Amino acid sequence: MMRKLSLLIAGALMGASAMSLVYGAPGSTANAAGSETYKQLAIFGDIFERVRAQYVTPPDDKSLVENAINGMLASLDPHSSYMNAEQAQDMRVQTKGEFGGLGIEVTMENDLVKVITPIDDTPAAKAGVLAGDYIAKIDGEEVRGLTLNDAVEKMRGLVNTPIKLTILRQGADKPIELTVVRDIIKVKAVKFRVENDIGYMKITSFTEKTYDDLENAIDTIKKQVPNDKLKGYVLDLRLNPGGLLDQAVSVSDAFLDRGEIVSTRGRDPKDVTRFDAKAGDDIGAKPLIVLVNGGSASASEIVAGALQDLRRATVVGTQSFGKGSVQTIIPLGENGALRLTTALYYTPSGKSIQGKGITPDIKVDQPLPPELQGRDLTRGESDLKGHIKGADEGETGSGSAAYVPPDPKDDLQLIYAEQLLRGQKTDPAFPPNPEKAVLNQ
């Protein structure tokens, strides 16, 4: 018997996409194509053979097929695509939230891999890798000429296997050679801290570990700040491209006592799935403010929309990305996969955020620093070519600037949220009244 397990995912084009993972035998039933369709397929086959036989240089057959498939899917919408075996594996790694690797956050600078920070208690940290180090060679191979993704892929690998890094470090008179043994790296989906009398929690993505990480954050904050001193919580969803929908539902449910969190609606009008909150508010009804911007997409918009419509939280920031579609990931032969848009999702009020986004209760703009002024950092679904037109999409579209200052002292949106929680600022939207929840009738 074929085994199926549906796992809904939500996210943006810049990260994970809204999708359902379907595990089981490749292939499924479909409506039979008409004779005209088969004629068109015959034309495609003829063109394919002529390209193979007559193009000026011999083309790669696999590349031709993959590009043809992606061309077909790209004509549907920006989030449907074909993933080859490598891409499908990368997607599984992202959603799982752990992998065999070194434990460093990196970026590309001056054609070298720059270490942003080594993660505590990981192989890289134990081996002596430091923030600011430049990785010049990986197992003797020059990093110059590689993309960041290529370099990261080389550093990931089987657990307990060694890797040799050649590091350039400021103050060192010669390159440093380090051997690091790979281990399981668990990516923290939730970063948190205490801001005196406020609990701050930032969800970076919705992986299989997000809800557990959130629960740990809440428990730790409660231990660090007495209940009578704790003014409330800030849930930061800015620059969060999305992830697993079931995790978005669980995160929303952590702050809700009742009500519908989100619904998904497919091609068939009868194909409606609803997700409801269970009793129990994990932060004991403490005030909650959610931060969003143009980098908040899909799963993060589900959370913000649910907490906003049910009047559990006040949303502060700027217009979110506006990705309200759900993709299904269907396994194909040789471990590839098809990412296909199969549904749209709706907030508890019955509104689609597709091409519209979440409008904050309190708009607070974040100015760009001088070095970024003049650059367009606006991100939005409505700007994507071929996007599905949302039911509530207007002329203004969706999205806003996707920028968060690295230093909290410059973060006007966070500062405003904290001032609301401490009573230093007032606004009619805060605190919200749950009795005035906006629900779909």
For the annotated catalytic residues, the residue numbers are 298, 309, 323
- Give the Cα separation of 241 and 399 in Å (integer): 12
CB atoms within 10 A of CB 237: 31
> Which two three-digit tokens encode residue 383?
């700007």
Relative orientation angle of helices 299-309 and 245-253, to the nearest 10 degrees: 30
Contacts 24+ apart (CB under 8 A), 159-166: 159/100, 159/183, 159/184, 161/100, 163/102, 163/138, 163/139, 164/137, 164/138, 164/139, 164/140, 165/129, 165/135, 165/137, 165/138, 166/135, 166/136, 166/137, 166/138, 166/140
> Which two three-digit tokens encode residue 189?
């989906």
- Give the Cα separation of 349 and 300 in Å (integer): 17
Conformation bin of residue 130: beta by default, left when phi > 0, alpha when psi is -120 to 50: beta
- Give the Cα separation of 318 and 304 in Å (integer): 12
DSSP at 384: S
Residue 123: enclosing H or E segment and its boundaries? helix 123-127
- Give the Cα separation of 41 and 78 in Å (integer): 23
- Give the Cα separation of 96 and 252 in Å (integer): 20
